[in-house]
Amino acid sequence: MKGSKQKTFFIAITTLLLSFLVQPAFAHFHYELPVKSTLISNNNQKLSAIQISWTYDEEVSDLMLKDQKNIKKLGKKLINDLGKIQYFTALKLDGKPIETGRVKQFNLEEIKHKDYSNLKLTFTLPVTSAATLKGNHVLTVNHEDPAASAILYYDKPQDLRVNGPLQNKCKTIIVEKKKFEEGESPQDVKVVCKA
């Protein structure tokens, strides 16, 4: 009986120690999200929305699919959760914040490979405040995760496009930051438009 109590005590202590060792690993779980976006302008050459797309890596996709196998339900849950943190996206025109609305158009798809799947999310973030791009303006596009898990970035300037009549008047400039805090964007991303 004495040996059995010692064994139980040893298992309890080992489990407790392991939980303390494993917890920080989950607390600092990081994943990268390469972003592709299109700025959508209306006939008045005002920004009306930004369409954003990213693909989750195999590990994150697997975790999400274990949580919810139904892609439609998972998409709704994901977009609702992202809405609470402004969809990882903040826009500024000439330094002034641009108000955005609730996402209603979105699509989550499972891209199946031989041994794994990737989840790709595409959504349209509407702009609710007037944002005139026509003329000499600078739009700042900032993607940040307040939970400091996702690191969002653009691979190349062509991954942030402008559609419509402004596409030949605007240029995307990406500057990699030398230092950035957890949760911050690793890049300064600007769309510079000329008259």
pLDDT tens-digit map of 49-97: 999 999 999 999 999 999 888 999 999 999 999 999 999 999 999 999 9
pLDDT of residue 161: 94
Which residue, 67, 37, 58, is CA-closest to 110?
A: 58
Domain-embedded: residue 58: yes
Domain-embedded: residue 18: no
Q: What is the pTM of this model?
A: 0.81
Domain of residue 111, residue span: 30-193
Over residues 14-62, the pLDDT tens digits come to 333 333 333 333 445 789 999 999 999 877 778 899 999 999 999 999 9
pLDDT of residue 165: 74
Domain-embedded: residue 169: yes
Domain-embedded: residue 141: yes
Over residues 109-121, the pLDDT tens digits come to 999 998 889 999 9
Domain-embedded: residue 25: no
Domain-embedded: residue 150: yes
State how many domains the chain has: 1
Domain-embedded: residue 14: no
Domain-embedded: residue 13: no
